[in-house]
Each structure stands twice: as C-alpha cells, then as structure tokens.
Amino acid sequence: MKTILIIILSSITIYSQSGSIKGRVTEDSFPIPFANIVILNTNFGEATDEDGFYELNNIPTGNYSIRFSAIGFETKILPVQVDQNVTVELDVKLKSIAIEVATVEVTGIRQQEQRDTRTSLIDLNPRDAKVLPGAVEDVFRTLQTLPGVLAPNDFSSQLIVRGSGPDQNLIVLDDVEVFNPYRLYGVISMFNPDAVEQVNLISGGFPSMYGDRLSAVLDVTNREGSTKKTLTGNLNASIVDANLVLEGKNPFDLRGSWLINSRRTYYDLIIEPFVKNAGLVDENTSFPNFYDIQGKFVVGPYKGHKFLFTGIISRDGVDVVSGEERNTPDSIGVYNFINNNVASLAWHYAPSKKFFNKLIASWYINEGLTDFDSRVLDPSLNRDNFEEIIPDTLAPYLLSFSFNAKFKYRKYSIDDKLTYLWKDHIFEAGAGVDFLQSVTDFEFNLDPQLKSIISGNPQFNAVLSDLKDVLNYRRYRVYLQNNFKVNSLLFIQPSLRFDYYDILEKAYFAPRISLSYAFDQLTTLRLVWGLYYQSPGYEKLRDREALLDLRKEYTRGLNAERAIHYVAGIERWLSNEWSIKLEGYYKDFDDLYIQKRVTGTRFFTEPVPGKDPRLIEGWTRPVGVVSDSATQVPINGSFGEAYGFELLLSKKNRSDDSKISGWISYSLAYANRYENGVKYPFRFDQRHTINIVLNYQVSSWFEVGLRWQYGSGFAISEPIGIKPRIINVDTNLDGVPDSPTIATRRVFGNPNADPQVVYDVDFGENKLNSRKPAYHRLDLRANFAARFWNLDWIFYLDVINVYNRKNVIGYDYYITEDLTLGREANNMFPILPTLGFSVKF
C-alpha cells in the first residue's frame, strides 16, 4: 500500500511540475495544416489542425528543442523553455521548398490530440490512397482497409460502416453534403488523393455538427493550391485512367491560390475497339466512362478574411448493345448518363485567434437517365446448355424486360459555423437550411409471360411497379457544442442538435455527450453517447437500392429513423511511432423504414402420388392461401442492433531511419435486424475482418507495399429446393389475371415431347439464412522514383489478387435435368496487374 501511495504521489508531483506549448504554424499568413511538431528526445508530438493551430500539454518543466516540419516546407528546430503552470505561445513561419523524391514522408493515420473527445476517428493521410496496393488510388477503397469499414464487393467503393448501409453515411466535401460521391457507377469515388488535404472518417458517435444520418460521417477537405509558383502540377496515368492536377498562386499579386484537377477513364478508347472487333457488342456501343473536373479558388484580400470557391462538374456515361457474335443467349441494351455537379462559396472570417466563422452557400445537383432493354434466358434454366445457340430459336425460353428511369436531386444550402475559444472552453455553434427538390420517374415494361409470373408472386409486385413523384421540401438544423477542460486530464463535450424535417413535418432534438481522459501523455480513454435521426429521401434510397413511395400522403405518418450510439475506446502510444487503439461499440436502431405489407394471396400446389412430377398431371390444381403482399408504401416497421470490438495497431515513419509503416486491424462485429417478429442478420453482417497494410521504403527511389484482407463472409439467402412455377392467367381477357395454373413448356430440342412443368428456385420464408465463403485477397505494389528532364517521376506496378483467389460475389441457381438444384458461383476480381506513372512539374 505504501508503494502504491508513493507512485500516486509521484505522478501528481510530476504533473504539477509541467507546462504547455501552443501556437500556430503558417506560411505568408496562411495556415499550414497537419504540420508535424516533435519535442526532440521525448515522446511528445502533435500535428497542427486544419487552421494551423497546435497545443502540447503536460510537458515536464525544462529546456527542449522542438522541431516543426511539413511536406514541401523547410524544417525548423527552435529552443523552448517550459516552466511550471505556464503556457508558452510559439508561432512559427515555415518557408516552402521544392519536394525531393527521397524525402517523401509517410505518416499513415494521423495522431489525435488528447483534448479531442471524438471516438472512432480515422484521420487518413491522402498519400496512403496513392500508394496503397489494390486501392486504385481511391480514398474510399483505402478507408475499406480500416477497422469497422467494409466493402460490399470488389466492384464497389461504397462504405459499409459498423453494421449500417451506405445510405446511413453522411458524405461532406468542403462543408457541402454530397448525395452521390461515386464515379464509374460505384467503382471509384469522387475524391482525388492528389487534390485532397484532409480525410476524416468518424465511424460512430459523431458530434452534433453532423446530422441526418444514423451511422457515420466522412468529412473531406480538398486542399488549396500551392502559393510557391505561378503554375505547377502533377500528372498521373495508368492503363485505364488518367488525372491531372494544375495549381498555382493567384495572378496580379492577389493573395491566395487556385487548383484544378481532372480525371477521365479511357476504357472506351482502349478496350472498346477490341470488343467491337470481336463482335461481342454492337458498333454503336460506348463503354462505361466518366470525366470529372474539380476546382478550388482561394482569395485572401484582407487580414482575417478568406473566400473559397469550390466547383465540380462530372459525368458518367454508358451505351451498350449486345452484338450478334456473342455466345450467350441473352441480349441487353443500356443507355445511361449521370451528372453530378457542385458549386459553393465560403467566407472564412478570423479576426483573432479566438474567433473563427465560416459562412457557406452551396448548390448541388445529381441527375441521371437510364434506358434498359433486355431479353434474358429464363433463370430456372442452366445457361451452359444454351450457349452457342442461335438466339432466334430461343424465343420460348427468353423473358423480355425493360425500364426507363429518370431522377434529379437538387439542393440549395446555406450554413453558418462558428468557433469561439474562451478560457478552457471551445464553443462551436451552427445553423443551416437545405432547399431540396427530388424528381423520380420509374416506368417498367414486362412481356406477357413475365407479367403472369409476377402476378403469381405478389411479393414482387411492389418491386416492379411504376413510380412518378416530384418532392419539394426543406431541412432546418441548429447545433451547439462545448468542449471544456475539467482539469489537466479530463475533457468533456456536451452537445445538442435540433432538426426540422419538412418532409415529415416533425422536429427532433438530439443530445450527445463525449469525454476524453488522459491517464498520461501516451494513453487516452474516450467515451461517447449520442442520439441520431435520419429523414427519408429518394437520394438516400439510391444507396439503399430500394424503391419506396415518399409522396406526402405516405410520409406524414412516418417518424424519422433513429439510432443510439454507445462507444468506448482507449488509445495508447507504445513509442513515438507505434500506437494501439481498442474500441467497443453498440448501436441501437429503431423506426427503420421497410415496405408496408398487406394481405395478399400466394398460390400453392402439391405433388400427386404415383404421377410424373415433370408433367402437369403430377401436381394438384393450384389453390390460393393467405399471404403477405409487399407495397411501395414506407412504414417504421423494423429495428436492429450492431455491436462489436475493433483493434488497430499502427506504425508511423517519424525518422530517417524508419523504413516500415502501415497498420494491422481486426474487427469482431455483429449486425442484426428485426422485422415482423423475425430476427435475421443484416445483409452486410460479417463476423471477422482482418486487414494488414505494410509499406517498406527499400531506398530513396524504391518502395514496396502489400495489403492482405480477410472477411468471414456476408450473409446470403440460400434456397431450400425447387417448386413448380405458378402463373396467373387472364382467362376472360379483362386485363386482370384470375386463373392460377402451373406453367409448362416444351423441351428444347425435342418439339414432339409433351410439355413439361417449369420449375423455379424455392427460397421459402428463410431470409439471409446462410453465408458466403470467406473472402481473402493479397495485393502488392512497387513504386520506383526517378528524376530526369528536371522532373520528379514515379513509376508503379500494382497487382490485385496476387494468388488469384476466386472470391464469390453471389450465386446463380438453376434447375438440372434430373430436377435437382444446381448452383454456379459468380466471382470478383481475378489477378489483375496495372502499370502507371505520375510526374510532378
């Protein structure tokens, strides 16, 4: 006991004999965000925030040397004396320099200061998205390697965060909410790592300045242009796409900078001619492609004032028609385009170090058009038996389906965000309003055979019903939060958010509270509790892949979806380069939107003993039984939960001798939903997830990296067998199906045989009752740096799925000739090498 008292008293004495250092790092009065600040020969270190400010606390008294460094700037080492209970104010100005290839610094996941009470925060270095193997230089795909974040499959950059769908994530770019952050139909995101300055993902317990989402927040800031030169830039090109960044200081001695970046794929220029020559697609086909132009212009005409304009223009397009030389029976025609445009103007006002205000006005539009026409082989048949068959002879075995879809989501927003520092308090407050318009127009066209099939399966009626709607509504919000210091170890941040959703005609208050406790300068505990709401909207349903009718007569009776977050985490710095973070979370979902079900009719038949089940005589006449029939009307009919544990071990490079950086993460997660008294796993429920990311700097001109990922497999609905297809036929020609009958057709290749019963795959009442096989994949990348023509070059080789693992995205089920259930797996990326280069000028 005496020993324990001595230790405690010694700790108190040490902390009482300490001081602090704070200040700002700038270049020509402009802040330098994320500059590294290290007290040499100690474990104390920090990074500046987005406005260049930093603060180091609980530093034992004494004389030190403190180093200030940032990529592209000269390093400064300054002496400093720390006295007891004194805060030293040290502002530093750094000069910009040309970046040498050999001095590139890899910092990985950035350090979170102890005063920051946010749990589940991942502050990603954009360079990781540039060098991460298999991430195709994409921010979203890099985030998918971190704890709590999953990808739906290899072909999607969507973020599945802690048991929630992508529709429950808030995506913000330069203080503007973005509905559709994807390009190339979800393959990559809109964020170019060459133009991004800051990437903050909060996977749970986010503060009250964010709202109208249940799960997570991704807040991205595009960087400002360089003020070193009138014109500088970077070109990055691979075998499938290219992006160009141009930037420089403003002309006419106007303080500030400009930056323009553009990207374009060229599948249509490289792959398309080969496919057309092979006759696999029609000559009028245009392969999927996109272009994206983003710009950021900054002007600081007066001290304390900064004006920022952000603009984005992008377009995705595809026009595909099946060619006559294809060896499959299906034919499709797809024409689609999607526009995604943003314009915003922000005024940043900072009359002093204690007061900062942002006023943002923005305009956003996401619109698209799709024309789809298809003739596909009946899914009950084994398509391997119908390859190389002339399509004209397959008419009885093909189903025709087409639809036309138009959407337009337009949003005008005004936001004001205030930060005020007073003594040991950081006050933040804000208010805003969105004016939204949603135009939705879905029209489906089915051939008579397909209509008769659907009429016998009422659960499909809602999925393929036409929907036309125009919504005009508003969202209002106000928030207030205060981060205050209780003592040198404990910080608390209570906050409150108010939202009014015009579409629901309801208002909601959402209290939240978070705290951080510093056991010492290396160990921090963080806790969060919060209440979160999400309103309905067609723009959210696109990410959810659901079609609900949100007309006023249906939404007035709805409540906003609700979630309560409980998060606890502890972070420990093991050294100046190694850190470990443990987090546990529980999310309680309620009032989730599902389709309203009404009483309907399902048709049922039984086998006749002793009769051939291949013939219609082998089955009883179908009879109707009471069953549920789905509609497009939304109701608050589901609730759920998500809980788990996450571990992150990360390694940074903070010295010239350090060669290895990266992280290892593990997640144990559970996600369930409850509907109509039935519990089932969330469709992206994955029990175990492991990610290993390593980067090794072999020399000043050569580095290699690897990423290995493992997932125990998503939930999937497994069929229980087969059943006769029952169709509803219009016998009296009044346009209303009135006579259920068992479908039959003649056997292909034997026209004289008796018609046989058509069978379908029977999934029964089981929902998500099985699992996909485990997913795992190894990606490798090698970067080679060089300098010639007075330019800095990097050449790279990136290989996805090095050992060619056949990871399953799903299954096609069919009926075999002996009336058993067959299954064929559809796989994701095979081994896929990519070559590319980047050059700075």
pLDDT score of 476 more than 60: yes
For residue 570, the cross-strand partners are: 525, 582
Q: Is residue 108 part of a domain?
A: no
For residue 221, the cross-strand partners are: 198
User: Quick one: pLDDT at residue 122?
Assistant: 79
150 in Cβ contact with 144 (< 8 Å) = yes
Task: Give the alpha-carbon dihedral of 131, 136, 142, 148, to 10 degrees.
Answer: -150
Instruction: Single out the residue in 97, 131, 166 at which a domain terminates.
Output: 97
pTM here is 0.84
Based on the fold, state whether residues 314 and 376 are members of the same structural domain.
Answer: yes
More confident position, 58 or 310: 310
User: Quick one: pLDDT at residue 261?
Assistant: 93
Q: Is residue 106 part of a domain?
A: no
808 in Cβ contact with 827 (< 8 Å) = yes
Q: Is residue 759 part of a domain?
A: no
Based on the fold, state whether residues 647 and 716 are members of the same structural domain.
Answer: yes
Query: If DSSP codes are grouped into helix, strand and coil, which group holds residue 559?
Result: coil
Based on the fold, state whether residues 168 and 295 are members of the same structural domain.
Answer: no
pLDDT score of 801 more than 90: yes
Alpha-carbon gap, residue 687 to 715, rounded angstroms? 10
Alpha-carbon gap, residue 562 to 539, rounded angstroms? 18
Alpha-carbon gap, residue 409 to 79, rounded angstroms? 56
Among 47-61, 197-211, 729-743, the range with the most confident prediction by mean pLDDT is 197-211
Query: If DSSP codes are grouped into helix, strand and coil, which group holds residue 11?
Result: helix
| Phi, psi (rounded to 5 degrees) for 327 | -110, 15
Per-residue pLDDT, averaged over 260-270, amounts to 75
Q: Residue 93 belongs to a domain with what CATH number?
A: 2.60.40.1120
DSSP characters over 113-125? PTT---SSEEEE-
Q: Is residue 750 part of a domain?
A: no
Q: Which of 336, 47, 8 is nearest to 197 (CA)?
A: 47
Based on the fold, state whether residues 388 and 419 are members of the same structural domain.
Answer: yes
Helix boundaries (H) for 189-320: 267-277
Q: Is residue 744 part of a domain?
A: no
Average pLDDT, the chain: 85
User: Quick one: pLDDT at residue 405?
Assistant: 87
pLDDT score of 147 more than 90: yes
Q: Residue 450 belongs to a domain with what CATH number?
A: 2.40.170.20
Task: Give the alpha-carbon dihedral of 521, 523, 524, 525, to 10 degrees.
Answer: -150
Number of H helices and E strands in the chain, helices first, is 7, 51
User: Quick one: pLDDT at residue 456?
Assistant: 61
Per-residue pLDDT, averaged over 624-649, amounts to 90
pLDDT score of 3 more than 50: no
* pLDDT > 70 fraction of the chain, expressed in percent and rounded: 86
pLDDT score of 108 more than 50: no
* pLDDT > 90 fraction of the chain, expressed in percent and rounded: 45
Q: Is residue 747 part of a domain?
A: no
Based on the fold, state whether residues 438 and 466 are members of the same structural domain.
Answer: yes
User: Quick one: pLDDT at residue 478?
Assistant: 98
The number of domains in the chain is 3
Per-residue pLDDT, averaged over 434-450, amounts to 86
Alpha-carbon gap, residue 737 to 732, rounded angstroms? 9
Q: Residue 173 belongs to a domain with what CATH number?
A: 2.170.130.10
Based on the fold, state whether residues 422 and 455 are members of the same structural domain.
Answer: yes
**Which tokens belong to 138?**
């994409």
Based on the fold, state whether residues 319 and 400 are members of the same structural domain.
Answer: yes
**Which tokens belong to 592?**
């989730």
Alpha-carbon gap, residue 193 to 80, rounded angstroms? 36
Based on the fold, state whether residues 86 and 126 are members of the same structural domain.
Answer: no
Based on the fold, state whether residues 173 and 272 are members of the same structural domain.
Answer: no
Summarised one tens digit per residue, pLDDT across range 548-593 is: 999 999 998 999 999 999 999 999 989 888 999 999 999 999 999 9
Based on the fold, state whether residues 184 and 269 are members of the same structural domain.
Answer: no
Based on the fold, state whether residues 312 and 410 are members of the same structural domain.
Answer: yes
Instruction: Single out the residue in 81, 97, 113 at which a domain terminates.
Output: 97
For residue 49, the enclosing domain spans 2-97
Based on the fold, state whether residues 204 and 259 are members of the same structural domain.
Answer: no
User: Quick one: pLDDT at residue 321?
Assistant: 62
* 21-35, 237-251, 301-315: least confidently modelled range: 21-35
More confident position, 75 or 572: 572
User: Quick one: pLDDT at residue 202?
Assistant: 94
478 in Cβ contact with 511 (< 8 Å) = no
Alpha-carbon gap, residue 275 to 287, rounded angstroms? 10
Looking up tokens 């002309």, which residue turns up? Answer: 251
Summarised one tens digit per residue, pLDDT across range 218-233 is: 999 999 998 888 899 9
Q: Is residue 756 part of a domain?
A: no
Q: Is residue 334 part of a domain?
A: yes
* 136-140, 169-173, 263-267: least confidently modelled range: 263-267
